[in-house]
A and B are shown apart, each in its own frame.
Chain A
Amino acid sequence: MKTPTKLFMTATAVHAMLDGLARELAAHLDARGIEAPPIVGIHSGGVWIARALAERLGERAANEAIGELDISFYRDDFTRIGMNPQVRPSKLPFELDGRDIVLVDDVLHTGRTVRAALNELFDYGRPRSVTLAVLITRAGRQLPIQADVAGLEPRVGDDEHIILRGPQPLELYLGERGDKARAE
């Protein structure tokens, strides 16, 4: 059953939240003594958020292109749903070995996407650390994965999904199961 999605947060509110998230991330990196980490976003919403964060972090982030991960080859539901027809190449245009990485996604829900992303990252190299930054964290975790920094933790029902639309403008929508373009 498909119901129309409704606007959850306007572009202005998302931008304000990104400002706060960038500040929190910078403070977190300071506290951990991490300098200028490269940023990696998970397709597609995570890449948009990664870009927005890199812009706001300026020199606090590495002066390198944003990494882009498409985790389609690492999903745990491949045998159920088959190949994602919209898979794009992952791009990690820098060395990972020994570096501190910031991994970015839009919504942290079950944790399965982040699990897949970590597996993929480690096939590119052995980072010294991975910091997880997400725009939204919500209930419904199925794996022991938590964000280091998050923009917001809204209360949403089990059947509801938060969807980021973008890249311009970046807006958050609330929809019911089945609306979601990328299953978490």
Chain B
Amino acid sequence: MDPLDNRQLQLRDDGRLRHFLTIDGLGRELLTEILDHAESFAGVNERMVKKVPLLRGKVIANLFFENSTRTRTTFELAAKRLSADVVNLNIGASATAKGETLLDTLRNLEAMHCDMFVVRHPSSGAAHFIARHAAPYVSVINAGDGRHAHPTQAMLDVFTIRREKGDFSRLRVAIVGDILHSRVARSQILALNRLRVGELRIVAPRTLIPEEARSLGVHVFHDIHEGLRDVDVIIMLRLQRERMHGARLPSEHEFFQRYGLTGERLALARPDAIVMHPGPINRGVELDSAVADGAQSVILKQVGYGIAVRMAVMSMALGPDAAREAS
């Protein structure tokens, strides 16, 4: 899908956010607005009453066709901190593999007057499909679709970078690991380029880099020692164990030997570099325990920031009721 279509599908006529499906097609200004709002919401998480009345009376449905405890929980907490009501639906992917069933699910939830669907699905394009067929007053947030996109994860990652390191233009960022299977990496690359990061590197074996990588505006490294030299931010990706049977990699052990983040390798980066990971981490596969729990790790901060970023996206997409009033 080209960026123009993504823009049209995601934005209202006045340029405001309606659906949040992919970073593609969204401008730097809108991404910055999300980060600014998240900054305000981060304050709410530190108060006595961790709740604002913004989305009182709204109903948000978490539609998870694929398991993800952390993502679902942070979306749920974000919705609750905005005072929305939340329903969680864990739908076995096999039972709803057909488009028809998915639409039926959709119509039922619309009949229950849901205002927003947060969708996690193993198939690329599922959130787009739902957004295209949803009633005009419903907003759709993509919480990860297949190998395609995970835009709220990317936004919480760039939010973490901005909070911890400041101005993007001065920064060198390295994304390390299984780029090929990673919707997170795809969204991160789009977001970091849109926000004009100084230099963006991907570090991975040839077999785990998508063919189109060089057109993504990144520097490709196959040697982790070269790739980490003087970087400000290291983003480790989760090795998708469930997708490793494809024999693209000999073993987890070998992966750690060649691409795992150890204290020694971390020392190649700038002394104040931060280590990030979208979780869940595989200790001893992507990174050493000492690094994961070390002073430079911001992995647990990312989780907290994820709530603030999701609050920002939800409140922006569920803003004015114009569509509902008109329908």
State yes or no: do A and B come from one complex. yes
A73:B53 contact, CB within 8 angstroms: yes
A80:B53 contact, CB within 8 angstroms: no
Given contacts A73-B44, A82-B320, is CB(A87)–CB(B52) below 8 Å?
no
Interface segment out of the listed A119-127, A158-166, A167-175: A119-127
Smallest Cβ-Cβ distance to B33: which chain A residue: A85
- B49 on the interface (CB 8 Å rule)? yes
Give the total of B residues in contact with A, Cβ under 8 Å. 21
User: CA separation between A87 and B316, bound complex, in Å?
Assistant: 12
A89:B49 contact, CB within 8 angstroms: no
Chain A contacts with B in 54-109, Cβ cutoff 8 A: 70, 72-74, 78-83, 85, 87-91
Smallest Cβ-Cβ distance to B43: which chain A residue: A89
- For B37, the chain A residues whose CB sits under 8 A away are 83, 87
Main SS of chain A's interface residues? helix
Smallest Cβ-Cβ distance to A82: which chain B residue: B319
Smallest Cβ-Cβ distance to A81: which chain B residue: B320
Which of B42, B48, B315, B316 makes the CB contact (< 8 A) with A124?
Answer: B48
Chain B contacts with A in 293-327, Cβ cutoff 8 A: 315-316, 319-321
Q: Annotate B78-106 by CB proximity to A: 1 below 8 A, 0 otherwise.
A: 00000000000000000000000000000
Which of B36, B42, B47, B49 makes the CB contact (< 8 A) with A87?
Answer: B36
- For A83, the chain B residues whose CB sits under 8 A away are 37, 315-316, 319
User: CA separation between A55 and B165, bound complex, in Å?
Assistant: 34
Task: Name the residue in A78, A90, A122 with the highest tally of chain B Cβ atoms < 10 Å from its Cβ.
Answer: A78
Q: How far is the CB of B76 from chain A (nearest CB, A)?
A: 19
Which of B16, B44, B47 makes the CB contact (< 8 A) with A82?
Answer: B16
Q: How far is the CB of A128 from chain B (nearest CB, A)?
A: 15
B43:A91 contact, CB within 8 angstroms: yes
B320:A123 contact, CB within 8 angstroms: no
User: CA separation between A80 and B320, bound complex, in Å?
Assistant: 5
- B40 on the interface (CB 8 Å rule)? yes
- For A125, the chain B residues whose CB sits under 8 A away are 48
- B229 on the interface (CB 8 Å rule)? no
- B66 on the interface (CB 8 Å rule)? no
Additional pairs, 19, CB under 8 Å, beyond known A72-B40, A80-B321, A81-B319: A70-B40, A73-B54, A74-B52, A78-B54, A79-B320, A79-B321, A81-B320, A82-B16, A82-B319, A87-B37, A87-B40, A89-B39, A89-B40, A89-B42, A89-B43, A123-B47, A123-B52, A124-B48, A125-B48
Can you offer 14 A-B residue contacts whose CB atoms are under 8 A?
Answer: A70-B40, A73-B44, A73-B52, A73-B53, A73-B54, A74-B53, A78-B54, A80-B320, A82-B16, A91-B43, A123-B47, A124-B47, A124-B48, A125-B48
A contact set with B: CB distance below 8 Å: 70, 72-74, 78-83, 85, 87-91, 119-120, 122-125
